[in-house]
Amino acid sequence: MKLHLPSRCLLAVAVAMRGSAYAQDATFNAIYTDTYDEVCGLDDDGDGCAEISALDTGISRLFTTNASENQLRVLDLDDMGRLTDVGIIDLADYGVAPNSVAVSEGIVAVAVEATIKTENGQIVFFDSQSLQLLAQVPAGALPDMVAFTPYVAFALVANEGELGDDYQIDPVGSVTIINMLDYSTRTAGFESFTSIDDSSVRIFGLGVSVAQDHEPEYIRLM
């Protein structure tokens, strides 16, 4: 289940200073530097804007999802921590709303859910400098988080597969694995657990399989 932020969302930036990450006496201090107000809806009363952000540290550029407007906001961050609005990436050609954004090595990945959320969404890749489209790759139903592995070898996507609003369709949850060399994909699902009689795995839905009931929302890289 996705939770949205309140109507007006403020994106605040802080400059952090710390000692060695491995020193026992390491300290961490945050200093407020700037705020960007991302407007939600025509009357600024929508929700889901400025929800997920990702920073390209190589060029000090911040990417922030705005699900209300189906856009990706692009902001530059200067040496003093001040934000400058670069513009937006309109995501209307790829789906109905961005659920996640990640950036690494100059590549931005955006998880976009389909107009009908029980259908397969897409992961859309952009160049972080030029903002040009690099590729669009099919994912599972309701892609809820995208993350890059080290050295941008793969992009991993948690496909939530949330139950439809009318309770008629319950797609399976899954993880899409995207090879960044050629944008080819593989899917890891939960279908093999359906035949396992394990009382420790709790099924919440009525008459659904393990694969349908599991709804992955998060990717954790070890």
CATH topology for 72-213 is Lipocalin (2.40.128)
CB-CB contact of 171 with 121 (8 Å): no
pLDDT at residue 128 in the model:
98
Question: From the CB of residue 91, how many other CB atoms can be counted at a distance below 10 Å?
Answer: 21
* DSSP assignment of 158-185: EE--PPPTTSS--PPPEEEEEETTTTEE
Nearest in space to 51 (alpha carbons), one of 130, 117, 113, 118 = 113
Residue 136 tokens read as 């669009």
CB-CB contact of 176 with 156 (8 Å): yes
Residue 198 tokens read as 């394990």
Q: What secondary structure, in 3-state letters, does 105-154 show?
A: CCEEEEEEECCCCCCEEEEEEEECCCCCEEEEEEEEECEEEEEECHHHCE
Structural domain boundaries of the chain? 72-213
pLDDT digits (tens, 9 = 90+) for 136-168: 999 999 999 999 999 999 999 999 888 777 767
What pLDDT tens digit does each residue of the chain (222 aa) get? 444 444 344 556 655 544 445 556 667 788 889 988 887 766 666 666 788 999 999 999 999 999 989 999 999 999 998 999 999 999 999 999 999 999 999 999 999 999 999 999 999 999 999 999 999 999 999 999 999 999 999 999 999 888 777 767 788 889 999 999 999 999 988 777 766 555 666 666 666 777 777 778 899 988
